Amino acid sequence: MVVYLDVLFFTNVLMDWVTLLAAARLGGAKVRQGRLALASLLGGVYAAGAALLPLLAALPVRVLAGATLCLAAFCGERALVRLGGLYFLTAAAFAGLAAALGAVSERRLLFAVALDEGGCNESYYRMLSRLRRSLTLLHGCVAGLVVTGVGEFYTKDVARDMVFAANQSGCAFIGRPLVEATGSLRNFRTQAQIGGTDEVTAFHTAVAELIGRLEGWEKPAPIRHILALHASQRSTSNTLALWELVKSALPDTVEVEEICLRNGTMADCNGCSYTACLHFGEQGGCFYGGPMVEEVYPAIRRCDALVMLCANYNDALAANLTACVNRLTALFRQSRFYDKRLFGLVVSGYSGGDLLARQLISSLNMNKSFFLPPHFCLLETANERGSLVKLPHIAEEAAQFAANMMQH
């Protein structure tokens, strides 16, 4: 583990200040900001010293250091002993909270949201707000989710928002992480018919299957082959400029394959019957054939990670990329993509990049079963030609995204 002394120092200064302030408030003592600041600085120095000299982290030394901080902060107070006791109790409470939060890391999570008649849930929105304000709250977690509704709408909309917010907060999602149930359960009619059962049993079976996959999930093998799909013109595309920055930061040991879907020959899905689609999929093809079957299908089979390079056209994926996603159904009928990672680069001229990220989540993670690593999507805003490479710190952001790709 790499420890940065400056970060360690300032983090402990802040935590010591909060702990001493809490002890003073609880003990009814007058708060002397100068003394609190001095004591907090001493705490930061001690933490940095303990990182360099492990002997300083021994329990007797830690107790002595805590007593020294209390003396520096509360010297002259009549209730010095009581304030010291409150300080140690508060510090222990904070340590317990940190341990509890740490226990959440690297855990399997199952989100469950029940929507009311209006498609809302107040507790869910409070959780969503908390997730959106942190980039690390769910670091190391892997999740699935179950959403139920009283009506026929909003279940998938809520699920997409939840997955995007949790993913931005550091949570990964297994492929096909969602089980949703509308009020009538009509969305389970097909599964019920295939299984020879009723809709309620089909719903319960789907939840049990999701939990089983979540419990048995294992991290995919390291990335050795990346496939990037796009429908942009290289000479003018800010999206491809961003991809070049990310690609240049990838290790040389990773093979990168790019396919452009801009040539106009990408026909959309014909809507074949289930049996017809399954038949073509078993043959390794699709009703339409063409570059989708000749190039994209084999590349999908080879890759460990799929990177979707998405320019924001009217708050939606480009038509050729949408057609490509739809045409993956035949390949999906043949095999699942649970062990293949999904990443996205989205560049918007104005705003709305998160809308495209949600489209990638619903189409490729929720439907086509690609694994969603934490922080799966890099979102940028650049309008004029060539303006993306001029954004502040863009090279560092691209390099960090590339490192995240290889880490997960």
Residue-range domain boundaries for the chain: 5-104, 108-215, 225-407
Confidence of residue 263 (pLDDT cuts 50, 70, 90): low
Helix (H) or strand (E) holding 379: strand 377-381
Least confident of 8-12, 256-260, 366-370: 8-12
How many CB atoms are closer than 10 A to CB 351? 11
pLDDT(113) > 90: yes
pLDDT(285) > 80: no
Higher pLDDT, 360 or 282: 360
Cα–Cα dist 336/338, whole Å? 6
Position 166 scores a pLDDT of: 97
CATH fold for the domain made of 225-407:
Rossmann fold (3.40.50)
Task: Please list, in sequence order, all residues whose beta carbon lies within 8 angstroms of the beta carbon of residue 265, skipping any fewer than 6 positions away.
Answer: 290, 291
Cα–Cα dist 87/171, whole Å? 34
Confidence of residue 278 (pLDDT cuts 50, 70, 90): very low
pLDDT(158) > 80: yes
Helix (H) or strand (E) holding 352: none
Task: Please list, in sequence order, all residues whose beta carbon lies within 8 angstroms of the beta carbon of residue 271, skipping any fewer than 6 positions away.
Answer: none
Least confident of 74-88, 259-273, 329-343: 259-273
Please give the average per-residue pLDDT across 21-27, as a whole number: 85
- In this prediction the pTM is 0.72
Cα–Cα dist 19/93, whole Å? 10
- Give the tokens for residue 84: 């010291």
Position 282 scores a pLDDT of: 46
Decide: 110 and 211 in contact? Cβ < 8 Å. yes
Task: Please list, in sequence order, all residues whose beta carbon lies within 8 angstroms of the beta carbon of residue 123, skipping any fewer than 6 positions away.
Answer: none
Confidence of residue 281 (pLDDT cuts 50, 70, 90): very low
Position 11 scores a pLDDT of: 84
Tell me the per-residue pLDDT of 167-222, one tens digit each, with 9 for 90 and over: 999 999 999 999 999 999 999 999 999 899 999 999 999 999 999 999 999 999 99
Distances (CA, A) of 97 to 2, 23, 91, 100: 23, 17, 10, 5
Cα–Cα dist 51/54, whole Å? 6
Mean pLDDT of the chain: 88
β-strand partners of 226: 256, 305
Confidence of residue 284 (pLDDT cuts 50, 70, 90): low
Tell me the per-residue pLDDT of 288-327, one tens digit each, with 9 for 90 and over: 556 678 889 999 999 999 999 999 988 999 989 999 999 8
Position 292 scores a pLDDT of: 78
Residue among 134, 135, 131, 156 nearest 146 (CA): 156
